[in-house]
Amino acid sequence: MAAAAASPAASGAASGWGVERFLADGFDLRRQLAAYLQISEAELTGRLPSSTADLAALHPGAFDLSRADQFYEETVGTGHLLELAAWHLGSADYIADTLRLQERFACGHLLDFGGGIGSHALAAAALPQVDAVWFVDLNPHNRAFVEARAAARGLAHKLRCFRDLGDPALPSRFDTLVCLDVLEHLPDPAERLAVFADRMAPEAIALLNWYFFQGFKGEYPFHLDDPLQIERFFLTLQERFLEVFHPFLITTRAYRLKVGP
Ligand SMILES: C[S@@+](CC[C@H](N)C(=O)[O-])C[C@H]1O[C@@H](n2cnc3c(N)ncnc32)[C@H](O)[C@@H]1O
């Protein structure tokens, strides 16, 4: 299955909320985040450089499978908003390529699992070929911030936020699945891949990446790096998914469901 390149009409450019707008201001990220946190933009700018270290400092140390969910749902508070904002603003070219990739494949009902500050969910919701965006994230601040951002852009009718995939209001199958920089945060990424495969429509595309590494300086203590878990992850990936080529020079991969043996 080959996806056609997004035509201008089917890209976010037509809505004014495409990749170029993201590169200009992260979809109005600084202003919106300062407003959400009730601080000035100057204070926000001052807090961004230390946000990765601040998030790492909240972490108890070794990756603890039994407490991974609690860390994202309770411990990090608004800290992840700052860390993700610093990353999306500071590595905007990289994020922009993931948005271009999303634009190429997004259609129908799109799940953004672990959607963070919502850059991908907002960009997807602005695409005419996307009927609805289903944003799932454990962190209540991330959900509230993304809901506010969607409302500010008049996209609330196309983007809804949920805590987890067990919510009965979610569709049983998705046409596009986006899960970027999340799998290494989960207690069992192989199990999550199997759940994704079960929730994909037959022609669906999943956009996935992962970084099972705690960093050369230990800056990501919250990343899973257990070799056995990683092996199970790749076995599940090979069992259930087939990679679909895309031309973007990024670590994010596109997959469809594997059919037959
Ligand atoms: C590194 S961020 C990535 C955010 C976004 N996908 C991006 O590319 O910027 C990881 C996100 O996964 C969320 N998360 C972690 N564990 C989760 C879980 N079990 N279910 C749903 N979301 C989870 C966190 O709250 C956080 O927003």
**24 vs 139: CA distance, rounded Å:** 27
Per-residue confidence of the chain (261 residues) as pLDDT tens digits?
A: 334 445 555 677 667 789 999 999 999 999 999 999 999 999 999 999 999 888 888 877 666 778 888 888 998 899 999 999 999 999 999 999 999 999 999 999 999 999 999 999 999 999 999 999 999 999 999 999 999 999 999 999 999 999 999 999 999 999 999 999 999 999 999 999 999 999 999 999 999 999 999 999 988 888 999 999 999 999 999 999 999 999 998 999 999 999 876
How many CB atoms are closer than 10 A to CB 9? 9
SS3 assignment, position 93: helix
Domains of the chain: 16-257 (3.40.50.150)
**27 vs 145: CA distance, rounded Å:** 13
Residue 257 near residue 202, CB atoms below 8 Å = yes
SS3 assignment, position 246: coil
Q: Which long-range contacts (CB under 8 A, 24 or more apart) does 66-74 make?
A: 66/187, 68/185, 68/186, 68/187, 68/222, 68/224, 69/138, 69/187, 71/222, 72/138, 72/139, 72/185, 73/138, 73/139, 73/140
Residue 138 near residue 72, CB atoms below 8 Å = yes
Which residues have C-beta within 8 Å of that of residue 195, sequence separation ≥ 6? 165
**Residue 69 Cβ contacting ligand 1 at under 6 Å:** yes
Q: CA dist 259 to 200, 225, 239, Å?
A: 13, 30, 10
Structure tokens at 50: 């230390």
Half-sphere exposure in the Cβ direction for 46 (13 Å, CA): 5
For residue 97, the CA-to-ligand 1 centroid distance in Å is 19
**Residue 12 Cβ contacting ligand 1 at under 6 Å:** no
For residue 121, the CA-to-ligand 1 centroid distance in Å is 13
Backbone angles phi and psi of 113, in degrees to 5: -90, 125
Measure the N-to-C terminal CA separation of the chain; round to a whole number of Å. 18
**Residue 72 Cβ contacting ligand 1 at under 6 Å:** yes
**Residue 83 Cβ contacting ligand 1 at under 6 Å:** no
